[in-house]
Amino acid sequence: MTQPTLTRSWVASANGHRDFPLQNLPLGVFSINGSAPRSGVAIGDSILDLHAALDEFEGEARRAVEATAGGQLNSFFELGRGPRVALRERLLELLAEGSKLQTREAQVLHRAVDCQMHLPAKISDYTDFYVGIEHAQNVGKLFRPDNPLLPNYKYVPIGYHGRASTIRPSGTEVRRPKGQTLPAGQTEPTFGPCARLDYELELGIWIGPGNAMGDAIAIGDAAEHIAGFCLLNDWSARDIQAWEYQPLGPFLSKSFITSISPWVVTAEALEPFRKAQPARPEGDPQPLPYLLDNRDQNAGALDIELEVLLTTASMREQNLPAHRLALSNTQHMYWTAAQMVAHHSVNGCQLQAGDLFGSGTLSGPQPGQFGSLLEITEGGKKTIELASGEVRKFLEDGDEIILRARCRREGFASIGFGECRGTVVAAH
């Protein structure tokens, strides 16, 4: 599918919109004036109410719209690529300049600022991977300077099972968690609020059609099981994590909240921004056969610019601009999204429509590209100086983290993901 680059929309705010031009058309779930949640499509500064426009769809496109009923996109994800493409093609017609749908604008279109966004789907399972190799090396150096990457990293897409019940949409407050920590120089832990609260810049991956328990998803088919993408902030309590993670890995340090951007950017919208998976450095092992597919290696990576911004309560009071903490890219993923799907299911694990994967922190190799404060401050050894005169090593109450994403390519309209925001509030 080619991107309709030159096509304009009758929704004036969509033309040249930072995130949601006609070429994007992400799906989400919203409510307005206390209404029940319903499905919609982001277009400029507005949301198209899919069910208010149901009579404009027929065939596979109508089937897709009907599957978005009930305030959850799980059934839509389960349909797979065919109906999803049919819906996109019809939306491109309906929202393009000259469409008769413009005469029904008041009936089918809502101002986004008047709407509340919800999670796009019921998330039964959430897995957080660790495929950002630059992050893995940076963190490894802090704890194992002579051996930052363990031997399995370049063979296995590392991941852990996260907590689906505390995933929340952008804008939800981040309550500072409490837990056990081991103070420096002490031999017994104490209990209290986290003092080293951090963010992690990640890509979220929504699973489409699942698999039966016991059946593996082949690497050549894995991309067909991905419905779309979002931004994801894997909030992390570093002091709690340091005490609890051995021998089984993250637990309470990660499960208190995970924030996601509420719009699902479809695989089709991202087609112009696909890239070859970066070549592995000389000496790195080739992926095992169940993880290796030529099509995936040639076009399974994505070129998405990722940005992290910080504002503090003082900065907002002084009307100071947000401080950029990082500018990175999804091309720093050592494993593709398809490889994550194939690996997750190879043992017969059942994936289901609406499952969510996190990519792991996507840092770049250079300062200014690090996707966590743990890396930026070298574990708290360095400080970040802000225009307000404040300094930070980790997040304080009142701090807000903003994640953004942008896809750019010459000859194509750029698209974005919308923001993923979270403001830290004090522990109870």
Alpha-carbon gap, residue 4 to 268, rounded angstroms: 12
12-117, CATH topology level: SH3 type barrels. (2.30.30)
Dihedral sign of CA atoms 23, 64, 39, 98 in order: positive
- Which pairs from 78-85 meet CB under 8 Å and 24+ separation? 78/208, 78/209, 78/210, 78/353, 79/208, 79/209, 80/208, 80/209, 80/224, 81/208, 81/224, 81/267, 81/268, 84/208, 84/227, 84/266, 84/268, 85/1, 85/268
In the chain, residues under CATH classification 3.90.850.10 are 126-425
Is it true that the peptide bond before 247 is cis, omega within 30 degrees of 0? yes
Sorted by sequence, the CB contacts under 8 Å of residue 17 that are 6+ apart come out as: 44, 45
The radius of gyration computed from the CA coordinates of the chain, to the nearest angstrom, equals: 22
In the chain, residues under CATH classification 2.30.30.230 are 12-117
Whole-number mean pLDDT of the chain?
Answer: 96
Angle at 245 between CA 240 and CA 250, to 5 degrees: 80
Q: Which of 17, 110, 135, 332 is catalytic?
A: 135
Give the pLDDT of residue 146. Answer: 84
Give the pLDDT of residue 362. Answer: 98
* The CATH number of the domain covering residues in 126-425: 3.90.850.10
Question: What would the pLDDT profile of 181-214 be if each residue is shown by its tens digit?
Answer: 999 999 999 999 999 999 999 999 999 999 999 9
Tokens found for residue 240 = 């709690």
Got the DSSP string for 152-172?
Answer: GGGTS--EEE--GGGEEETT-
- Examine the pLDDT at 15 and tell me if it is beyond 70: yes
Phi, psi torsion values for 21, nearest 5 degrees: -75, 180
Least confident of 74-83, 135-144, 418-427: 135-144
How confident is residue 65, by pLDDT bands cut at 50, 70 and 90? very high
- Name the residue among 346, 363, 355 with its Cα closest to residue 205: 355
pTM, 2 dp? 0.97
The stretch 111-139 carries a mean pLDDT of 97
- Examine the pLDDT at 293 and tell me if it is beyond 60: yes
Alpha-carbon gap, residue 374 to 198, rounded angstroms: 7
The stretch 329-344 carries a mean pLDDT of 98
Strand pairing of 126-129 and 356-358? parallel
Alpha-carbon gap, residue 203 to 231, rounded angstroms: 5
- Examine the pLDDT at 6 and tell me if it is beyond 70: no
Got the DSSP string for 94-146?
Answer: HHBTT-GGGGGHHHHEEEGGGEEEE-SS--S-EEEE--BHHHHHHHHHHH-TT
- Examine the pLDDT at 2 and tell me if it is beyond 60: no
For residue 418, the 8-state DSSP code is: -
How confident is residue 1, by pLDDT bands cut at 50, 70 and 90? very low
Alpha-carbon gap, residue 104 to 412, rounded angstroms: 29
The stretch 210-234 carries a mean pLDDT of 98
Give the pLDDT of residue 412. Answer: 96
User: The tokens 């499905």 sit on which residue?
Assistant: 39
| 135 in active site | yes
CB 228 within 8 A of CB 425: no
